[in-house]
Amino acid sequence: MDIKFRQSGYPLGRAGRLLLVAAVIAVLAGFGLAFRLNPDPRGFGTHEDLGLPPCTIQLAYSLPCPSCGMTTSFAHFVRGEIPSAARANPGGLLLALICALLVPWACISCIRGEMWKVSQPDVLLLSVIAVVAIVTMTQWGFRVLILR
């Protein structure tokens, strides 16, 4: 009698598994880099430690851009400083949480040969992008319109 394992998630081929492994490596490298950075006490500008210029929008208009504070948020997140990460950029904190969850999920998915608990990866990806964008734009609007 031939017993087949019933796959409940989106099946992964070799290329899919390699992409997930690459994503895990990229996320872990990003977290490692964030750990090496010292969070800027202003709540933004941590990216300047990488040799990158200050935010052009902030320089030109004296207003933060939607992504201002994301690098700082990641730097706080990897240190377990969740309230500071949320203050720097709530969208950055959400993105960091998603990245942290991606690592074990991708490992489980690679082992199983299917996207664990995900049958429609396109819908999930679009939903995640939409939620992060909504949170990021909401906090930006709040900072620009209310805190100014």
CA atoms within 13 A on the CB side of 120: 5
Residue 4 has pLDDT above 70, yes or no: no
- Give per-residue pLDDT as tens, 10-54: 999 999 999 999 999 999 999 999 999 999 999 999 999 999 999
CA–CA separation, 142 vs 148, rounded Å?
9
The percentage of the chain sitting over the pLDDT mark of 70, rounded to a whole number, equals 95
Question: Which amino acid does the sequence have at 75?
Answer: A
Q: Structure pTM?
A: 0.89
